[in-house]
Amino acid sequence: MKILFWGTPAYAVPSLDALVAAGHELVGVVTQPDRRRGRGKDLLPSPVKARALELGLPIFTPERIRREPELQARLGALGADVSVVVAFGQILPPEVLAQPPLGCWNAHGSLLPSWRGAGPIQWCLLQGDSSTGVGVMAMEEGLDTGPVLLERSISIGLLENAQQLGQRLAQLSAELLVEALPRIETAGTGPETERLARLGVRVQGEVGLSYARMLTKDDLLVDWNQSALEIHRRVMGLYPGAVTQWQGKRLKLLATEPLVARLASQLSPEARCLQAEPGVLSAAAAPGTVLALAADAGLVVGTAGCPLLVRAAQLEGKSPAQGQSLLQQLGCSAGDQLGGA
C-alpha cells in the first residue's frame, strides 16, 4: 500500500519502521517542524524526521497543516492509499481526512473512549489505572472519537513510569498497525460508511469516557500532603518531571515506591525490607519530613498517609542519583524537610 505517515515523537518511530519493514511504500512523512531543545536550545528535528532522513523518505513539516492549503494539495497529489497517524501533534482538517481513498487511521495509546487527547499515557498513570492499551481507529473531525478497528490491552505495573509504558505502547501500536492495514486494504474503497461497515468497527460509546487534558507546570509540583500512592502516581506519570524543593533548590523525583502494606507484593525487595522495620510505617511526622535513610534504597519521606520511598532523584545542577549516591548528594538527615515554595 502507498502510505502517508504522520508522526512526531520517538513514540511514533517504531510504527514508521514497522510499516517500512512490512513492505509498504511510504510516499511521504509529515512531522512537526524542527524545534529548539536541550540546554543549548539547538534547533533539532523531531525523532520521526530524523528517522525519515535515515530512511530517505520525503518529509513535510507544516507549522499548522490547517492553514496551509498549498501543502494540503501537495500531500493529496502523492496518491497515498491511506494515511497513518501516530502522535502527530496537530488536528487534521476535513480536507486532509478526505484525501486517501482508504481513509485516515490513528493508533491511539489508550482503550477508547478512555483518555481521549494528547496525554493518555501520563493520565492513565496519574489516575492509577491497572491497564491500558492501543486502539487503531478511523479518524474523523472529533477528538479521538472515531470507530475502533483493532485494540489490545496490557497491564500496568505499579513501578512502571511513563517512559517505560510508552515504549511498550509504541511497540504495540506498530504491531497493530501492521495487522490492521491488510484488513483496511481488503475492505476496499467506497463511501466511508460502507467501508467501515465491511470492517466491522466498534463505534465508541460514552461509558468510560475521559479526557487527557494538557499538563501544566503546576501539575509537576509534588504536594506532600497527598498520600504516598498519589505522589507515587505523579512521579511515575510525569516522569521525568515531578519536582519538589530541597534547601531552596529544585529536586526532580525520578523513582519512588509507596510503602503501603497492601501493595507489598508489588514492591522491590528493598522496599519490603523497609516496611518490615519497626516504626517505619507508623512514624508520625509532618508531610515531607525525612523519616529514615537507607543506603541501598534511598530516603523515606512522610506523606499524608503511609511513607514514600524516594529511590532516585536529581538535584538542580547535579546528575541523577539513587541509593547511597542520592543520600550523599543531598546530605540529608532524618527530620529534614522536603517541599516548600
| Residue pLDDT, tens place only, 23-65 | 999 999 999 999 988 777 889 999 999 999 999 999 999 999 9
- Please state, in angstroms and rounded to a whole number, the distance separating the CA atoms of residues 315 and 303: 20
- Please state, in angstroms and rounded to a whole number, the distance separating the CA atoms of residues 176 and 321: 37
- Average per-residue pLDDT for the chain: 95
Single-letter code of the amino acid located at 101: P
Please give the grid coordinates belonging to residue 110.
Answer: 489508550
- Please state, in angstroms and rounded to a whole number, the distance separating the CA atoms of residues 207 and 171: 27
- Please state, in angstroms and rounded to a whole number, the distance separating the CA atoms of residues 105 and 99: 12
Q: Which residues pair with 35 in a beta bridge?
A: 44
Taking alpha carbons only, the member of 150, 153, 148 closest to residue 129 is: 153
pLDDT digits (tens, 9 = 90+) for 300-330: 999 998 999 999 999 999 999 999 999 999 9
Neighbour tally for 299: CB within 10 Å = 24
Give the CA distances from residue 339 to residues 27, 242, 245, 249, in Å, rounded to whole numbers and listed in that order. 52, 12, 5, 10
pTM of the model as a whole: 0.95
